[in-house]
Amino acid sequence: MREPGASPVLLLAGVRFLHLPMTTPTFSLLPNASQPTTERLEWLTDLFTSRNGTEARVALRAFPRTSYSASFLVPDAAARSQIDFIRGKGEAVFPLFPHAFRAPTPAPDAGRAQGASPVKGCLVRALSGAVSLVPGYTLTPAQLAASQWACPAALGRVEDTRSIEHKTSRVGTLSLNFTALDFDEVIHGSGYTGATSAGLFVLPVRHNWAEAAKETHTARADAADYGHKTLRLHRHTKRTVGISILLPNRAAVAAFRVFLFSVARGRFGAFRWQFPGDAAEGTWRLNQDAVEIEYLTVGVARCSLELTQLEG
């Protein structure tokens, strides 16, 4: 059972499940809802450009490096034990709050279908406040009714800089980034089933006009200095645009994430898209290997993209 409008189950391969030692701590603070949580997906691509602008691209990372950043509330003295842990240690089991459950089935935008998490389970916080790791991704209605929240889990390493703001001796906020470890999330191209054009998939987003779209044209030329004059031989011009997109529901988040994993893969994959104001579609690629999705709340997100046109 999936939520209405959710994407099909993702196809995954190459997953290594990580057996955690019993001493691995659990991070259980809630993110500050007044600030967004950011998910960063980072691929790696070698890019070779010929003299006429034709590109050859090689994907160096089959799955992205996944990291999260957020601000967390420390509401009482009991929660301060989490700060003590963060001060001294670097690894823990983290709940992936942007993909929290709202139904007794896997969250459709989690991107971890069929248990493809190194922890292979969910962190569930009971009404009593106790946090436990539940194996698998299927929770019953009774389990959800008896919990404050439930999220897919991942073993993460906290980045070196951890910022703590003490409001009082008992209350504060904690800002940190953590990177998922041993996380082989590989989704085959067949995992995306969106519209196609000219043999390529179509980028399933439109520009959000709450922000301006940007366009840059960069000319490449050979120059020769003869002293009394300079000769320039034009080779090619690259067109790059910057857009902002809004993902208004979980189905839109799911479709976009599957597109990133299956088609774009950072700067590697080509796709079709029509820039606002253009008369027709063109062939594009992302101009960035790292994509940051900013979750305003569970199921609502925004993202800034930079695209390079390959063919007009």
Distance CA 312, CA 289 (A): 22
From residue 304, alpha-carbon distances to 80, 111, 253 in Å are: 35, 20, 14
Which residue ranges form the domains of the chain, and what is each CATH number? 12-191 (no CATH), 196-311 (2.40.30)
Give the angle 40-44-48 at the CA atoms, nearest 5°.
Answer: 140
Q: Global pTM?
A: 0.82
Cα dist from 164 to 6, 87, 92, 231, 287, whole Å: 37, 10, 18, 58, 34
The pLDDT tens digits for 59-106 are 998 788 889 999 888 777 666 677 766 776 678 888 888 888 765 554
Confidence at residue 186, expressed as pLDDT on a 0 to 100 scale: 45
Judge contact between 143 and 37, C-beta under 8 A. no
Q: Are strands 200-201 and 196-197 parallel, antiparallel or unpaired?
A: antiparallel
User: What's the pLDDT at 292?
Assistant: 97
Backbone angles phi, psi at 119, to 5 degrees: -85, -30
Which residue stretches of the chain have pLDDT < 50? 1-22, 106-118, 186-190
Predicted pLDDT at 78: 61
Which segments within 169-299 are labelled E, that is strand?
A: 172-180, 186-187, 196-197, 200-201, 214-225, 230-247, 270-273, 282-286, 290-297
Q: What is the pLDDT of residue 110?
A: 46
pLDDT computed for residue 137 by the predictor? 65
Phi, psi of 279, deg, nearest 5: -75, -25
Which pLDDT score is estimated for 189?
43
